[in-house]
Amino acid sequence: MADHSAQIHFVLVPLMSPGHLIPMVDIAKLLAHHNVVVSIVSTPLNTPRIKSAVDFAVKSGLKIRLLELEFPAVQAGLPAGCENMDSLPSRDAIKNYFEAAAMLQEPFEKLFQDLKPRPRCIISGKNLAWTVETARKFKVPRLFFDGMGCFSFACTQSLHNSRIHETVSRFEPFTVPNLHHEIKLTRAQLPEALNPGSEDLIDVRNKIVAAESISDGIIVNTFEELEQDYIQEFKQTKGTRVWCIGPVSACNKSETEKITRGNPNPPTKNKHPCLEWLDSQEPKSVVYACLGSICGLSATQLIEVGLGLESSNSPFLWVIRGGEKSKQLEKWIQEEKFEERTNGRGFIIRGWSPQLLILSHPSTGAFLTHCGWNSTLEGICAGKPIITCPLFAEQFINERLIVDVLGSGVSVGVKAAVAWGIEEKSGLVILREDVKNAVEKAMENSQEAEKRREKAVEIAEMAKKATAEEGSSYLSVKALIRDVIQETSF
């Protein structure tokens, strides 16, 4: 059969949040590796975050383009320059942010109609409902990219159906019904959609759920071998085609790809100082601590994390967001001479960390994460044990996957989720003593800890196989392209 894929054009419309945008660029690369043309929609202030990665991909021969649309921040009531979820000034701004994202429809359609080769498919973030209408207008399938895994879907689905969490008090553990594993959660740990306490974003959430139900297929960042039973269930419940093509981060092989990935200020020279520091540390000795890209934890909470790391016996690399968001924490760091105190044993990264490079560094021994789905998969790929410190959304469920199902993690024991955007009102959910204990447990030389380390390596091996040529995820990307070609005959 002749290879017509060079004429096949996919258009990707990501939700502008680092946790969505970054894997979408990975998806673009995965598709382009199969010789299709891929365009990624971006906005002026998001482009720098992904441009180096795209430029590098293009230099390597991949056919990826950036399509830039003005982001109507001000028209939607946001401050000028607020183009990404990580720059939202407050929780109230989430509504405006989604309004602005919806306003992209008209300019996008104008751009879309002139694109060459004529696009065959739109892949959008699951929350961008308007892309359904656009795809119908241009008679192409609209697939959505689900930023979460299938285990978390199964848990939330089970709770939606059983409502068991409504029968218990806030901190009373209950077993999630009808799962393949015995999973215990509390109501305080559940995603906001299941938590009757937070109703301000109900409209936003309802729209997202409605948009999810209309789709010509779903792309999931997971791999068959990781959560097989739950993927089967996901496919049955969704009743549409599902392609599991992850972990998508595995497509970043070179140092340049890893260091530029998602970085809003890509470095001009390749070596990040934290990597030089890591080079000076003992193998598998360092705990890498990063709580994601949109973490708004209060300074009081972050100080607990810092003190917990300090009082553990391990060297640590600690990422703090930097800038305005970390002003109070920064003040504490200076006043307490935290860096001097931990000099040699601790290293602080302010702003963006090259996460993939750190995770794959031989000195890194464990990953303390908030259990965002991307970070979870990246930790898995690196074959390192995970110290789980979930904060919100489905992160407590991902924690259970890591600790109870996969057996490669230690929990910090966070008792309650914080409400995103108003974290300071959530009280103290992370305690220094708990951080210290979890770090020590993960790093110790016990049989139990060794077993976790072995498990982590085993799972990483599975992920490597899945993404290698002829692996399950590789074949899934091929199937996705084939399905789109068959469906669009122009």
Residues contributing to the site for ligand UDP (CB under 6 A): 18-19, 22, 262, 290, 292-294, 319, 352-353, 355, 372-375, 378
Neighbours of 8 (CB within 10 A): 23
Q: Pick between residue 112 and residue 420 the one whose CB is nearest to ligand UDP.
A: 420
In angstroms, the CA 215 to CA 197 distance is 30
3-state secondary structure of 144: strand
- Least separation in angstroms between CB 367 and ligand UDP: 10
For the record, the structure tokens of 366 come out as: 């464990």
- Least separation in angstroms between CB 382 and ligand UDP: 11
For the record, the structure tokens of 470 come out as: 């002829």
Tokens 């965002």: give the residue: 372
Cα–Cα nearest to 417, from 189, 155, 168 = 189
In angstroms, the CA 362 to CA 234 distance is 36
Could you tell me whether strands 121-125 and 9-13 are parallel, antiparallel, or unpaired per DSSP bridges?
Answer: parallel
In angstroms, the CA 448 to CA 130 distance is 49
- Least separation in angstroms between CB 363 and ligand UDP: 18
Tokens 């703090």: give the residue: 320
Q: Could you tell me where the DSSP H helices lie in 312-372?
A: 327-335, 338-341, 355-359
For the record, the structure tokens of 225 come out as: 């071998």
Q: How far is CA 169 from CA 173, 184, 189, 193, 195, in A?
A: 9, 14, 12, 17, 12
- Least separation in angstroms between CB 236 and ligand UDP: 26
Q: Pick between residue 135 and residue 297 the one whose CB is nearest to ligand UDP.
A: 297
Cα–Cα nearest to 355, from 439, 449, 244, 258 = 258
Q: Quick check: 396 and 190 in contact, CB under 8 A?
A: yes
- Least separation in angstroms between CB 212 and ligand UDP: 18
Q: Pick between residue 22 and residue 251 the one whose CB is nearest to ligand UDP.
A: 22
- Least separation in angstroms between CB 259 and ligand UDP: 10
- Least separation in angstroms between CB 75 and ligand UDP: 26
Q: Pick between residue 108 and residue 223 the one whose CB is nearest to ligand UDP.
A: 223
In angstroms, the CA 209 to CA 153 distance is 13
Q: Pick between residue 62 and residue 290 the one whose CB is nearest to ligand UDP.
A: 290
- Least separation in angstroms between CB 273 and ligand UDP: 14
3-state secondary structure of 179: coil
- Least separation in angstroms between CB 134 and ligand UDP: 25
In angstroms, the CA 416 to CA 161 distance is 22
- Least separation in angstroms between CB 412 and ligand UDP: 16
Tokens 């009280």: give the residue: 427
Q: How far is CA 440 from CA 284, 325, 362, 380, in A?
A: 13, 29, 19, 20
Q: Pick between residue 72 and residue 292 the one whose CB is nearest to ligand UDP.
A: 292
Tokens 């002749």: give the residue: 2
